């Protein structure tokens, strides 16, 4: 039986840009409560952890900085799995208190609560269309798999054939099948529509983890014998095996593209247990990562959606991020940490960063209401610019590198002297917070976007508003000048991208886009790159 002990949450060295730490915690920062799991958000920008006593919290943090964003309270026992929904705006958590809860990820408000009758919930998973949710858990006669109509929060059927605890289940990408892993040493494949068991795969050891590949053609499983197995998802035949040096693996995962598999585990009752983090190449079966550093059982592993990185959570009091650059080369994340001397590091989330034109310094804006200028080579904090009354949301160097423009939730834009740190001008006019600021290539104007849905173009020398660009129906999240300064691109929550004549303010083009992701011109100004729900989109602006 999987036994969890109270643990503390600690962060990797790479997450130390935001806070000061005590000398004895040089590599980690602690949280007052423990954690059971850790998973990335769909865009990889955040990660969420499930906690333990006394409050059983769910915590949301930034992936880039590790900065704490939100704590969600309400569960009364271990939060064994908590994940983002596809929209990235809501979270679903499953707990040993027998409830599934849905939360607003931004406000922390509990949106709904569903009661399960199993003694505890060990795992849940949503179908790709998010119509169905499968939850697992229970012992003996209570060992069940429950299929939910998640939109109506109703249980459609209960699958009972396992004879021991069901630790995990997954839904095939096309939504037609369910696979489950149990301590009864079997994997079972079910017809989702009828609840009929289509196939039973017998193994030599209790199984704790199972997952479909992204194409639905394969299964990956692991359990008490420390072996990762890849199966044919149609006929249940064994395809390949990957062996760890330990005696138990608690969790496995396919990478988003299905080319890699990861596994973690470790038996805390065995003094010689192996707590290595494993990543293998499915095609070549070569080891991509063998991360050594955890000292107690590792409960979960999750691939980042956008880079060669995995996130792990362990009973040794740590959540760790591991990354690799080349095959057969494994290492923990070694990003340069810009934290300055005593009192000089940001005290809250970092919202925006911008290199100086010569690349020697870096400006960062933060929710702590300050802008900091850093020496890129040494990591020294050179200056702290204070004056905004709320979070700084965007920073941008002038083309000559002598000034910085900053936008804030306090509705103002400020222009700063880089050498002295003096605030030269405050630009006022927007009626809601600023989301984005951008200098024109000649440095004569500054464009700004705001939650008020408007774009303003300002004279950078006088600070006067020259133009108001209206057309977006709701929040403007990003503005960007073309390399020649003749046009300005903007992106809005109304799911449009607009191209404006920077001189006249006329709207030249309207493109159908997605939400709040950044936009960027190509060097020749003929193409615009944008992020979308399923990838990166390139727009031909010359047509």
What are the pLDDT digits (tens) for 267-310?
766 666 778 899 999 988 888 888 887 777 888 899 988 788 88
Characterize the bridge pairing of strands 197-202 and 207-212: unpaired
Nearest Cα residue to 165 out of 195, 149, 186 = 186
pLDDT given at position 381: 85
The H-or-E segment that residue 384 falls in is strand 381-386
pLDDT given at position 40: 93
Share of the chain above pLDDT 90, in %: 49
pLDDT given at position 36: 79
Nearest Cα residue to 216 out of 169, 180, 170 = 170
Q: In the predicted model, is pLDDT for residue 171 greater than 70?
A: yes
Q: For residue 63, with 0-12 CB atoms within 10 Å meaning exposed, 13-18 middle and 19 or more buried, which class applies?
A: buried
| Distances 251 to 27, 36, 314, 439 between C-alpha atoms, Å | 25, 12, 11, 48
Contact by Cβ (8 Å): 99, 82: no
In the chain, the largest separation of any two C-alpha atoms, in whole Å, equals: 76
Tell me what the mean pLDDT of segment 492-517 comes to: 85
Distance CA 351, CA 364 (A): 8
Residue identified by tokens 């769910």 is 58
Show the tokens assigned to 18: 């935001």
Show the tokens assigned to 122: 């060990």
Contact by Cβ (8 Å): 129, 175: yes
Contact by Cβ (8 Å): 492, 508: no
Distance CA 384, CA 418 (A): 10
Q: In the predicted model, is pLDDT for residue 335 greater than 60?
A: no
pLDDT bucket at 7, cuts 50 / 70 / 90: very low
CA 320 to chain CA centroid, nearest Å:
14
Distance CA 143, CA 434 (A): 52
pLDDT given at position 110: 93
For the chain, give the mean pLDDT.
83
Quick: pLDDT tens for 122-161: 888 999 999 999 999 877 666 789 999 999 989 999 998 8
The H-or-E segment that residue 238 falls in is strand 238-243
pLDDT given at position 5: 36
Contact by Cβ (8 Å): 383, 373: yes
* Beta-carbon count within 10 A of 397 CB: 22
Residue identified by tokens 């050498």 is 419
Residue identified by tokens 């990478």 is 255
């Amino acid at each position: 039986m999987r036994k969890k002990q109270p643990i503390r949450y600690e962060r990797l060295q790479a997450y130390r840009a935001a806070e000061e730490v005590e000398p004895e915690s040089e590599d980690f920062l602690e949280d007052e409560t423990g954690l059971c799991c850790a998973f990335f958000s769909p865009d990889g920008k955040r990660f969420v952890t499930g906690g333990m006593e006394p409050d059983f919290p769910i915590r949301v943090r930034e992936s880039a900085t590790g900065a704490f964003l939100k704590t969600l309270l309400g569960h009364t026992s271990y939060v064994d799995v908590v994940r983002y929904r596809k929209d990235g705006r809501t979270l679903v958590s499953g707990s040993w208190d027998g409830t599934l809860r849905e939360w607003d990820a931004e406000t922390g408000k509990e949106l709904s609560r569903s009661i399960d009758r199993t003694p505890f919930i060990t795992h849940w998973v949503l179908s790709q269309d998010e119509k169905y949710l499968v939850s697992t858990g229970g012992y003996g006669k209570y060992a069940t798999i429950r299929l939910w109509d998640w939109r109506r929060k109703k249980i459609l059927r209960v699958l009972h054939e396992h004879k021991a605890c069901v630790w995990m289940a997954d839904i095939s990408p096309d939504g037609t099948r369910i696979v489950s892993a149990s301590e009864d040493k079997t994997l079972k494949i079910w017809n989702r529509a009828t609840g009929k068991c289509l196939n039973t795969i017998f193994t030599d050891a209790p199984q704790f983890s199972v997952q479909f590949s992204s194409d639905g053609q394969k299964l990956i499983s692991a359990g008490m014998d420390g072996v990762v197995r890849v199966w044919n998802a149609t006929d249940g035949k064994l395809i390949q095996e990957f062996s760890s040096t330990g005696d138990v693996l608690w969790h496995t995962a396919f990478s988003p593209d299905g080319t890699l598999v990861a596994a973690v585990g470790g038996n805390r009752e065995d003094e010689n247990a192996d707590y290595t983090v494993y990543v293998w190449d499915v095609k070549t079966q070569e080891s991509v990562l063998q991360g050594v550093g955890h000292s107690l059982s590792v409960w979960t592993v999750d691939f980042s959606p956008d880079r060669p990185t995995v996130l792990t959570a362990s009973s040794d009091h740590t959540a760790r991020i591991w990354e690799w650059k080349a095959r057969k080369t494994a290492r923990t994340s070694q990003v340069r940490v810009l934290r300055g001397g005593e009192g000089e590091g940001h005290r809250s989330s970092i919202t925006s960063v911008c290199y100086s034109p010569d690349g020697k310094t870096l400006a960062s804006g933060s929710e702590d209401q300050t802008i900091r200028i850093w020496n890129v080579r040494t990591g020294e904090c050179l200056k702290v610019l204070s004056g905004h009354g709320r979070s700084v949301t965007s920073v941008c160097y002038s083309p000559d590198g002598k000034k910085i423009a900053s936008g804030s939730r306090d509705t103002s834009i400020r222009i700063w002297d880089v050498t002295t740190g003096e605030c030269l001008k405050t630009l006022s006019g927007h009626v809601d917070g600023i989301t984005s600021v951008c200098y024109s290539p000649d440095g004569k104007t500054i464009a700004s976007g705001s939650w008020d849905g408007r774009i303003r173009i300002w004279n950078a020398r006088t600070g006067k508003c020259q133009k108001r660009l209206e057309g977006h129906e709701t929040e403007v999240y990003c503005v960007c000048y073309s390399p020649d300064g003749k046009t300005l691109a903007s992106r809005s929550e109304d799911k449009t991208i607009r191209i404006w004549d920077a001189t006249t303010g006329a709207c030249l083009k309207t493109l159908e886009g997605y939400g709040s992701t950044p936009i960027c011109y190509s060097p020749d100004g003929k193409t615009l790159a944008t992020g979308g729900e399923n990838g990166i989109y390139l727009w031909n602006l010359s047509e």
